[in-house]
Structure 1
């Protein structure tokens, strides 16, 4: 008898039970996620909501204090100071990150690597949106979709402690192969799990749609809303690829190598070739003009991406 069969059913049940037992997001958090950062009184709304949840307020202040270089200034932080320091464009992502921490505090290196990847994809996605302003993509939605894109893997790792090693036994090397490996091992893949979790958590639909489709390469693009989702998913898929690319590279390239004549251009050329394959295989609808801008942006921003990711992980208490 195939030994994986019974385990697959047990794993699937454990994962579904994990979703079912997940506490709903605190009311304050749910309300914050649907606020618009473009509202003139956005920060005031955040302040009044946060005051309703003392525990959340404390954590928001602690997060802001960790991002402050001066320890003396950090000690004087109030809730208003914290919100003003973090700013309207960061609040929603911090709220989501702190909420994730409540349920998925890392227990081992696999968990920690997944956190690094999730934060890194969000940081990369934000950089990509910044260099494509004429597409009018909402950076907050993209950032949150990127941060939560692999939330299903968090559930699998928590519900099936040996999940990473069991899934890796199937020797996956592409997103499609990963989904297949998860199905063979757990009877369910992380995309379905993530989408179900977002619905359970009442995450806004625009973000849930990104999570539910981040490995979908056949999205329709006839209607305006369909094309918008395809563009959002394009960004996540490219950011996902580049995060894996970075995590397989040395953390920091020695300065003497980076300063070699032609080094940066060579790296851009290598990445452009690999990204061209990704874009072709995903059915991307990104305008042609960005297909040369993207690899250059990612290589030039490499150190900034690593540093920004590290700062966020540190503020969340996730740095080793």
Structure 2
């Protein structure tokens, strides 16, 4: 594929249209209502008819991330252990990983960041009492929030490097630097890529607006969408903090809590009642889970 240092959004769009589509079975899984009580049976039926999907489910159910007490060889048992919604998210991550294979330290860090945002967001959904968004939806939103950066690394790596060279101190500065340098940013590119891959509209819109922090307090917008933007905002900053301070695991809980409060809790999300103390206490375990997930999808 031809690369060029400076490209307009039309050029990017043209190449996005040439990206390989995700597996048909993944589209099939995404077209069904995940809240349907028969969703589990639907996934099981698809797995029985799709050997690669069945193999993936059993393999993950027996992986270190799943930590089974004994070997699982039965598909139904494996799916019960992993969970139907989790299968969709893991399969999505693995499928995207085959398209955007990390070749540089920057691309490996981007994969680490995306998995962290996905994992942290899912955890917060499970522990925040006022949040109604599905934890697996939050995971998918986190996985795809920086899809535009994956595309830009693949199609116009020199242009992306130009924005990095310009330097950005915090996540909110990143799209501003990109727009000033290139005329577009990774949020716009990610939205186009999500549409190409026929992601749910909620995921497409979250990818497009995850740096529009004022969305968080706009009561006219759907609650689920606002919750996802809150989660992306907070976890994006947390992941950036961990990358900036690789010695964070040596900090006391009190120091880590203070850093997260000061550096990750933007004014727009202060009123969201995020369980930050619970999150900070769980952060080392969540970080290790991210490492295991990266290994499970071959990153």
TM-score by length of 2: 0.87
The Cα of 1:148 is off from its aligned counterpart by 0.6
Q: Distance in 1 between matches of 2:28 and 2:153?
A: 28
Instruction: Specify the SS of the correspondent of 1:310.
Output: helix
Work out whether residues 214 and 233 of structure 1, in 8 Å CA contact, stay in contact via their aligned partners in 2. yes
23-32 or 137-146, which deviates more: 23-32
1:27 to 9, 21, 24: 24
Work out whether residues 234 and 286 of structure 1, in 8 Å CA contact, stay in contact via their aligned partners in 2. no
Q: Which residue of 1 aligns with 2:219?
A: 222
Aligned residue runs from structure 1 range 51-90, under 5 A = 51-67=48-64, 69=67, 73=71, 77-90=73-86
RMSD: 2.6
Q: Which residue of 1 aligns with 2:206?
A: 210
Deviations 1:111-133 (CA, angstroms, capped at 9, x unpaired): 11111000000111112112213
2:12 to 12, 15, 33: 15
Pick the structure with greater CA Rg: 1
Q: Which residue of 2 aligns with 1:269?
A: 258
User: Residues 110 and 14 of structure 1: is their aligned pair in 2 closer, same or farther, counting only changes over 3 Å?
Assistant: farther
Deviations 1:143-199 (CA, angstroms, capped at 9, x unpaired): 111111001100001112334432211112233431133234444211001111111
Q: Distance in 1 between matches of 2:279 and 2:104?
A: 29
The Cα of 1:244 is off from its aligned counterpart by 0.8
User: How many residues align structurally?
Assistant: 294
User: Residues 12 and 28 of structure 1: is their aligned pair in 2 closer, same or farther, counting only changes over 3 Å?
Assistant: same
The Cα of 1:215 is off from its aligned counterpart by 0.7
Aligned residue runs from structure 1 range 76-225, under 5 A = 77-219=73-215, 221-223=218-220, 225=222
The Cα of 1:252 is off from its aligned counterpart by 6.3
Deviations 1:226-260 (CA, angstroms, capped at 9, x unpaired): x4322220111101110111122226634xxx6xx
Are 2:298 and 1:317 equivalent residues in the alignment? yes
2:47 to 50, 54, 64: 50
Q: Which residue of 1 aligns with 2:269?
A: 284
Q: Distance in 1 between matches of 2:269 and 2:175?
A: 20
Q: Distance in 2 between matches of 1:232 and 1:72?
A: 36
Structure 2 spans left out of the alignment, 5+ residues: none
User: Residues 21 and 61 of structure 1: is their aligned pair in 2 closer, same or farther, counting only changes over 3 Å?
Assistant: farther
Q: Distance in 2 between matches of 1:302 and 1:91?
A: 23
Q: Which residue of 2 aligns with 1:3?
A: none
The Cα of 1:304 is off from its aligned counterpart by 1.1
Q: Distance in 1 between matches of 2:211 and 2:183?
A: 17
Q: Which residue of 1 aligns with 2:232?
A: 236
Work out whether residues 47 and 54 of structure 2, in 8 Å CA contact, stay in contact via their aligned partners in 1. yes
The Cα of 1:106 is off from its aligned counterpart by 1.1
Work out whether residues 89 and 140 of structure 2, in 8 Å CA contact, stay in contact via their aligned partners in 1. yes
The Cα of 1:297 is off from its aligned counterpart by 2.4
Q: Distance in 1 between matches of 2:20 and 2:201?
A: 19
Structure 1 spans left out of the alignment, 5+ residues: 1-5
The Cα of 1:30 is off from its aligned counterpart by 1.2
